Structure 1
Amino acid sequence: MEISFVRIDDRLIHGQVATIWTKTSKCNRIMACSDEVAKDDLRKTLLLQVAPPEIKAYVLTIDKAIDAYKNPKYDSFKTLFLFTNPKDVVRMVKAGVPIKSVNVGGMCYKEGKIQITSAVSVSEEDIDAFKTLNEKGIELELRQVASENKVSLMSRLDSLKLI
């Protein structure tokens, strides 16, 4: 399986992903990876309905996504991986999935989080996960839409004195 793009966006599949990121990444598959969402039949159904008709989409637990990546029967997949949080990306990487770059596009504000851009808010747990990914040499970039310039997530966290 080829990894065409990896994005953290707590909305997973939505208009921007379906219309822009699928074209930019040239993927032929979307894997929305979330234990929580994979157990929620309504949310899973809604997500699959907004995927572009020409691209097969899946909503999988993290473990099933790892298994799919490692399964040679999916070698023809050019996959856009979507996650709701960086902790799940760390799980994939620790399981041997060779992620090289992560686009951070949307993490909504909740109590206990700090807003670092108009679309991204992070908790201490998120920051720890991003540090782990950074230590593994994985590029972490902030960008809501493909036309924006990449901004280093770690530089942003550093400028806000969060790391």
Structure 2
Amino acid sequence: MGTPNILLTRIDNRLVHGQVGMTWVNTLGANLVIVANDEVANDEVQQNLMDMVLPETAESRFFTIEKTIRIIGKAAPHQKILLVIKNPEDALKLVHGGIPIQKINVGNLHYAEGKKQLSATVSVDEADIQVFQKLHDLGVELEVQGIPNERARDLMELLKQD
């Protein structure tokens, strides 16, 4: 298995949506968007909605977490990948599965009662924090950044603040 050319791994609980999909693809120069999500892998309606907001320069694939782990290593070097996942748990599964993820862009985790808000778009609960801690311990860099022209901030540093 080769090393897949992953330009960015992004956590976004809306996955690919609106300008965000377009903006990240264009900024990164990605030509393949892999959405790793068990639910969406089997939901053509959601897949079609996501395809609509991606530029024509990028292809998309919708895989389960397990399938992503199994086949991402077969990607060709010219495939410049934006890997999109829904939550920290799935990120940890991918890392445990052997996908070489060095850095994760945490773009969007909705606020809910009892969550700690780290930025305008990212809120975490205890379970999220535990998973992020595990990812951090595995050497994965964690950055909070909604859109490319926003300054990236270290998630572990944000967690230390009150």
Q: TM-score, normalised by structure 1?
A: 0.89
Q: 2:118 maps to what in 1? A: 116
One-letter code of the match for 2:103? S
Partners of 2:113 and 2:139 lie apart in 1 by: 30
Partners of 2:116 and 2:9 lie apart in 1 by: 23
User: Aligned in 2, Cα 1:112/1:38: closer, same or farther, shift over 3 Å?
Assistant: farther
Partners of 2:40 and 2:30 lie apart in 1 by: 22
Residue 112 of structure 1 and its aligned partner are, at CA, apart by 4.4
Q: 1:22 maps to what in 2? A: 25
One-letter code of the match for 2:154? S
Runs of 4+ in structure 1 displaced over 4 angstroms?
none
1:103–1:143 CA contact under 8 A, matched in 2: yes
Q: 1:78 maps to what in 2? A: 80
How big is each residue's C-alpha offset from its partner over 1:68-120, in whole Å with a ceiling of 9 and x where there is no partner? 2122x544321000011011011111111110111111111234433222111
Q: CA RMSD in A?
A: 1.6
The farther-off stretch of 143-152 and 111-120 is: 111-120
Aligned partner of 1:12 among 4, 11, 15: 15
Partners of 1:17 and 1:66 lie apart in 2 by: 25
Q: 2:104 maps to what in 1? A: 102
Residue 39 of structure 1 and its aligned partner are, at CA, apart by 2.7
Partners of 2:46 and 2:83 lie apart in 1 by: 17
Task: State how many pairs are aligned.
Answer: 159
Q: TM-score, normalised by structure 2?
A: 0.90
Contiguous gaps of at least 5 residues in structure 1: none
Aligned partner of 1:134 among 133, 136, 149: 136
SS at match of 1:59: strand
